[in-house]
A and B are shown apart, each in its own frame.
Chain A
Amino acid sequence: MSERRFDPTTATWVTFADHRQGRTFLPAQEECPLCPTRPGGPLTEVPREAFEIAVFDNRFPALSPTAPQDPASDGPYLTGPAHGRCEVVVYSDQHDSTLTDLGRERIKLLVDVWADRYDVLGAEPGISYVMPFENKGEIVGVTLHHPHGQVYAYPDVPPRAASKLAAARRYHDVHGRCVHCDVVAHESKDGTRVVAETDHAVAFVPFAARYPYEVQIAPRRHCPHLGDATAQERADLAELLHRVLESYDRLFDMRLPYVLAVQQQPTCPGPWADISHLHIEITPPHRTADKLKYLAGSELAAGAFLGDVLPEVAAKALRERLT
């Protein structure tokens, strides 16, 4: 059963998908469903002996194009179908690899895959927002170790994206410019929070980062989504992503867990183009090698983040670990 419920006290939708409780959880390598199907072996989700990147519909989707439920109301409450798409993006046929290990050329291909899935899913009926993402590490909830990410296609613009777009609209109304364009230009000029930069893109720790080693990667040019990026911009995004991930793994001499998400223009009609600016957000939960940044009272209950590491200090630490 999947359904969405609208909370009238916060004006947000929550998706329930109780069938996901039974999904595959940290299987042994020989039972990995994301490995290629080997001769004589069990049929996996990828029935081919070798591949570069494979994308398929999640067997346990939270959102589905065939979600059966009609909208309904009960007093102050609304429920609706959990309409959308959930895809799995397998980065490699090598079980023990990581996105960092796979290198810049594979990350370039992944960026092109993200662009294509944005086009494919964004063109489907009832899809308003397409977000590629990756959960890396058990500590952020990964259930399969094989290197992979996901793409969710939502029926509306999800809360964090909506909040950022509203802020961008307010900024544009006052200054007449895209806030992300101004931020990227300022970060590059200032330099203290820059981790790495190229001719076409900048990787930096946000001025008001929520997590200690949070990094954002964005093109310098106003570019609403990956389909709008030039080949050189995509290559630069891939290069910076690879360099940041390498730096992460050197930060505490461990494979640093993170949540990675690609934020782009909504795919539903609307006045998005002047305020949407493609950016990749990477959020590691660690603040030291053995301590996590938890969402505790202030963050979870008040929505007010408290920082443990100044962004300038975090950026310097990451810069020092670049190759």
Chain B
Amino acid sequence: MPAHDAVPEPETAASSEAATSPDPHQQPVRERPTREQTTLPDGRRLTFYATATPPATVP
């Protein structure tokens, strides 16, 4: 199976904001984009980003 056909594992794009923001009260419950990492046939990295689906609201 070509490398680029491999089923990538969705991830949530990480960031370091929680550690560095001067005002934790401004920190959001952020809808982070989804990230899928795979590789091209020649080994180069390829990452797809998509708008995150908002989490279901708990009544």
What is the interface of chain A, defined by CB distance below 8 A to chain B?
43, 45-48, 51-57, 59, 105, 109, 112-113, 115-116, 119, 221-222, 224, 226-232, 273
Contact = CB atoms under 8 A, between A and B. Distances in A.
Interface size of B as a range = 20 to 34
B45 to A, nearest CB: 5
Most buried by A among B30, B33, B50: B33
Contacts of B41: 43
B28 A56 contact: no
B33 A224 contact: no
Given A47-B5, A57-B44, 18 more contacts: A52-B49, A53-B33, A55-B46, A55-B48, A56-B45, A56-B47, A57-B40, A105-B51, A109-B49, A113-B49, A116-B13, A119-B13, A119-B14, A221-B26, A222-B22, A227-B15, A230-B26, A232-B26
Determine chain A's interface SS by DSSP, over half rule.
mixed
B20 interface: yes
B57 interface: no
Interface of B is mostly: loop
Contacts of A113: 13, 33, 49
Which 4 A/B pairs are nearest by Cβ-Cβ distance? A231-B28, A57-B44, A116-B13, A227-B15
Contact of B51 (A59, A109, A226, A231): A109
Interface-central residue, B23, B27, B49, B51, by most chain A CB under 10 Å? B49
Given A52-B49, A52-B50, A227 B33 contact: no
A53 B27 CA distance: 25
A57 B41 CA distance: 12
